[in-house]
Amino acid sequence: MILVLDFGGQYNQLIARRVREEHVYCEVHTALSMEKIRALRPEGIILTGGPQSVYKADSLLPPAEIFNLGVPVLGICYGAQAMAHVLGGNVAPAQISEYGKTEVEVIGASELFKGVEKKSVAWMSHTDRIVDVPEGFIVTAQSRDCPIAAAENPARKLYAVQFHPEVVHTVEGRKIFANFVDLCGCARDWQMSSFVADTVKNLKAKIGGGKVLCALSGGVDSSVAAALLSKAVGKNLTCVFVDHGLLRKNEAAEVEAVFSRFDLNFIKIDAGERFLGKLSGVVEPERKRKIIGEEFIRVFEEVARQIGAVDYLVQGTIYPDVIESGLGKSAVIKSHHNVGGLPDFVDFKEIVEPLRLLFKDEVRQAGRELGLPEHIVNRQPFPGPGLGIRIIGEVTAEKVKLVQDADAIYREEVARAGVDKDLAQYFAALTNMRSVGVMGDGRTYDYAIALRAVLTSDFMTAEAAQIPWDVLSRTANRIVNEVKGVNRVLYDCTSKPPATIEFE
């Protein structure tokens, strides 16, 4: 096990993730006492980055005894400076701060940099730097503006790096983690199956015979969270799946089919007509969103009232959500995107978030371990208000059907061509535009469908994907032939910004 001591840096869970990628179990802790550190019996310790300055009086520093435990210690950025400071080196403000991609050169022999290119790009983000290394340390890397970009004491297996090996921009980062894991002598036998087994065991111990409620959206995160809880508590878990009638074609049936195989109580609420009634005559996007969100809560509230008090409410929060909502208390009370506001009225004692420390691709892996099918674990993001925000203008049952059918054809053709793996999100939307067409010998006056496909990693900005023309043309052809009421298909080539990914 490798212990990560957290000093508040931005990339700290990424460090844990890199260790997991080396198949080593890892725990992240803040401000642990020496007694607790010893009790964890780590095979190695990593000190993370952080926003403080080691030479300021109130800065958080690691206990000096960790360097005498006889296990390798890797200090990263602030962690490197803390190591130097605690062991008698000198840290001071850098004359030139480095930020971003920086060329780093390995100098001298280093165990940590074994097999690492002599010169490579690394990610830097610091305003202080190590000026003098502690006794017994040698300098092992430099950059143009940072003469001590890395240092180590090979005899004591202590390693300090000013740059961030955990960030993907550090080209040799993975090799550095692999070397550190080797230096720690870890067995590399941790798998996602171990995460699943440990989490199930811990959930069992924590929840016991308590009652658990889960709002299941059918998305990856809530599905994996539900599957974990099902393994842990079986029928003490109740999953409520609200079908607001604005899901994609066959989606509700698919979700039901998957979860009916799990050991849990599955409650599906068919609320399509109720939502359509509320949306009748409403054209303004924000009002539509608000109505869908509020109605969702109302439906869930009614079900929750019937179920009565529960001990735990499950949320599928994953690590990127934790970062977005700010670390600390705010993260704990974060409501799931798709079920915003649930904690306000459900009668429960505590929230459980079993995926809190995982990244999206790790959640997908855990889902596979739990036996969820690919169409669930690989599902692309789908907004809580569903097709309600992919139908411009008033939402009606007919329009929902048009967009569902067109979207299903588009997804089928994209998948058949094998381009789906490259796309972050792709879907059909119904424009509120009708135009003239000709079909057979007759004039038509029908709707236009817009196709969208975007490339993005963070969904904050996105670019339109260049879908091969033959895929688009085949899709367009099929849509106008198979979906009655559509006579034109348009492709959206706008980036975000200025457009957004969704149409409303």
- Cα–Cα distances in Å, from 274 out to 23, 122, 269, 294, 389? 49, 55, 11, 12, 17
> How much is the CA Rg of the chain, to the nearest whole Å?
27
Q: Is 146 annotated in the active site? A: no
Note whether 496 binds ligand XMP by CB under 6 A.
yes
Contact between 492 and ligand XMP by CB under 6 A: the answer reads no
Q: Which of residues 284-303 bind ligand XMP (CB under 6 A)?
A: 289
Residue 185 CA neighbour count, 13 Å, CB half: 6
Residue placing its CB nearer to ligand XMP in the complex, 42 or 384: 384
Cβ neighbours of 309 (radius 10 Å): 11
Minimal distance, residue 298 CB to ligand XMP, in Å = 17
Tell me which residues in 292-351 interact with ligand XMP (CB under 6 A): 337-338
Per-residue binding string, ligand XMP, 368-387, x by CB under 6 A, is -------------x-xxx--
Report yes or no: 136 and 156 within 8 Å, Cβ to Cβ: yes
**Residue list 445-464, contact with ligand XMP (CB under 6 A):** 459
- Does 425 contact ligand XMP by CB under 6 A? yes
Dist CA 69 CA 402 (whole Å): 66
Q: How would you write 233-254 as a 3-class SS string?
A: HHHHEEEEEEECCCCCCCHHHH
Residue 262 Rama label (left phi>0; alpha psi -120 to 50; beta): beta
Specify the residue, 182 or 502, whose C-beta has the smaller distance to ligand XMP.
502
101 binds ligand XMP (CB under 6 A): no
Report how far residue 198's alpha carbon sits from residue 190's, in angstroms, rounded to the nearest whole number.
11
Lookup result for tokens 């740059």: 163
Is residue 166 annotated as a catalytic residue, yes or no?
yes
Q: Which is nearer to ligand XMP, 62 or 385 (CB)?
A: 385
Report in angstroms how near the CB of residue 460 gets to ligand XMP at its nearest.
8
Q: Is there a contact between 163 and 170 (Cβ–Cβ < 8 Å)?
A: yes
Nearest distance in Å: CB 364, ligand XMP:
16
Q: Is 502 in the site for ligand XMP (CB under 6 A)?
A: yes
Q: Which residue number, 140 or 404, has a Cβ lying nearer to ligand XMP? A: 404
Other Cβ atoms within 10 Å of 437 Cβ, number: 15
**Whole-angstrom Cα distance, residue 142 to residue 428?**
51
82 interacts with ligand XMP by CB under 6 A: no
CB of 472 to ligand XMP, least distance (A): 21
Q: Is 154 in the site for ligand XMP (CB under 6 A)?
A: no
CB of 457 to ligand XMP, least distance (A): 12
Task: Confirm if 64 and 86 have CB atoms less than 8 A apart.
Answer: yes
Catalytic residue selected from 26, 146, 152, 164:
164
Using the structure block, give the residue that is written with the tokens 């340390």: 137
Q: Among this protein's residues, is 126 annotated catalytic?
A: no
Shortest Å, Cβ 351 to ligand XMP? 18
* Residue 485 contacts ligand XMP per CB under 6 A: no
* Binding residues vs ligand XMP (CB under 6 A): 289, 337-338, 381, 383-385, 425, 459, 496, 500-502
Active site residues: 77, 164, 166
